[in-house]
């Protein structure tokens, strides 16, 4: 099975084929992950077998789109509430706490064998607080930047999806390896930068919300946005493979969660990049 650099979609047993129903022949779900797994259940279909579905049904693209819309709606609603009702004195504590808790929820989902819709929505609500607070900070100094970043995020995601579908983009192992290694390297660099920031040591990799900004900081944010877009391509391909393999319908929540994580990353990078350009 294809692997994704997204922490949600890269789970070892994510998007495995739906379990065969009673009466399916042994070995129906063989070692080849790219065969038409859904057509190996019982005599009558292509190759002698007809489609087999798990009792709860199979994941579809419509399911993933619907669950993603629900997750994003919860995130946006939570962000709006945090924006309007969190007092100014609690902006920073709410920002840090929601970031830490949201990261913890991501790790929790990543290690769980079965996806929990409730946990997905909890993550969306917590991450919404984070998005609301960081957006409030940037909007205070750069009026209108949040709307621009939101439009840019959805536009980038939409163009990426359209390009993936209409230009029939195929993710090769080499492309996948380059994106994954680059993403891991970027994440490690940002982690080191965060540790230095906590110690009061400024680095040229990231600039503050205000003040001078160098070309390196702009390049790093641009690289982050490009990597987020490339991760969207991996996510789209991974979800497509899950649908083709006949993953259980509940896995649509995992796909929605993975896309939401990547979209949040893309939004933050675009928000930061726009603030740099305005200076």
Tens-level pLDDT at each residue, the chain (279 residues): 444 445 555 555 455 444 443 333 333 333 333 333 333 333 444 444 444 444 458 888 889 999 999 999 999 999 999 999 999 888 888 988 998 898 888 888 877 878 889 999 999 999 999 999 999 999 999 999 999 999 999 999 999 989 988 888 888 889 999 999 999 899 889 888 877 877 777 788 887 777 788 889 999 999 999 999 999 999 898 898 888 888 888 889 988 998 999 999 999 999 999 999 888
Helix (H, G, I), strand (E, B) or coil at 1: coil
pTM of the model: 0.77
Structure token digits, residue 53: 């579905």
Q: Which residue has tokens 């200076």?
A: 279
78 and 267 in contact (C-beta within 8 Å)? no
How many C-beta neighbours within 10 Å does residue 24 have? 15
52 and 21 in contact (C-beta within 8 Å)? yes
Rounded CA separation 81/92 (Å) = 16
| pLDDT, position 213 | 84
| pLDDT, position 34 | 35
DSSP character at residue 23: T
| Beta carbons within 8 Å of 121's beta carbon, 6+ residues apart | 70, 71, 74
| Beta carbons within 8 Å of 223's beta carbon, 6+ residues apart | 186
How many C-beta neighbours within 10 Å does residue 81 have? 14
Rounded CA separation 66/265 (Å) = 21
How many C-beta neighbours within 10 Å does residue 42 have? 16
User: Which phi and psi (to 5°) does residue 6 adopt?
Assistant: -65, 130
| pLDDT, position 35 | 36
| pLDDT, position 201 | 79
**Residues in the chain, total:** 279
Rounded CA separation 254/119 (Å) = 10
């Amino acid at each position: 099975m294809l692997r994704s650099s997204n922490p949600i979609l890269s789970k070892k047993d994510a998007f495995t084929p739906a379990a065969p129903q009673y009466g399916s022949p042994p070995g129906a779900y063989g070692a080849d992950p790219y065969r038409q797994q859904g057509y190996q259940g019982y005599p009558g279909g292509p190759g002698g077998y007809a489609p087999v579905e798990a009792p709860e049904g199979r994941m579809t693209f419509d399911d993933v789109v619907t669950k993603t819309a629900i997750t994003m709606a919860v995130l946006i609603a939570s962000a709006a509430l945090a924006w309007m009702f969190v007092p100014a004195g609690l902006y920073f504590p709410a920002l840090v706490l929601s970031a830490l808790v949201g990261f913890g929820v991501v790790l929790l989902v990543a290690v769980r064998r079965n996806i929990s819709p409730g946990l997905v929505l909890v993550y969306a609500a917590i991450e919404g607080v984070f998005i609301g607070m960081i957006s409030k900070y940037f909007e205070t100094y750069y009026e209108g930047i949040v709307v621009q970043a939101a439009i840019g995020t959805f536009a980038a995601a939409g163009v990426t999806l359209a390009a993936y579908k209409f230009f029939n983009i195929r993710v090769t192992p080499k492309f996948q390896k380059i994106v994954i290694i680059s993403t891991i390297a970027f994440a490690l660099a940002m982690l080191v930068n965060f540790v230095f920031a906590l110690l009061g040591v400024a680095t040229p990799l990231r600039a503050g919300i205000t003040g001078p900004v160098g070309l390196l900081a702009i390049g790093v944010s641009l690289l982050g946005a490009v990597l987020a877009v490339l991760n969207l391509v991996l996510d789209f391909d991974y979800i497509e493979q899950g649908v083709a393999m006949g993953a259980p319908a509940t896995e649509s929540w995992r796909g929605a969660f993975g896309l939401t994580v990547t979209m949040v990353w893309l939004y933050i990078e675009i928000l930061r990049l726009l603030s740099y350009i305005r200076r």
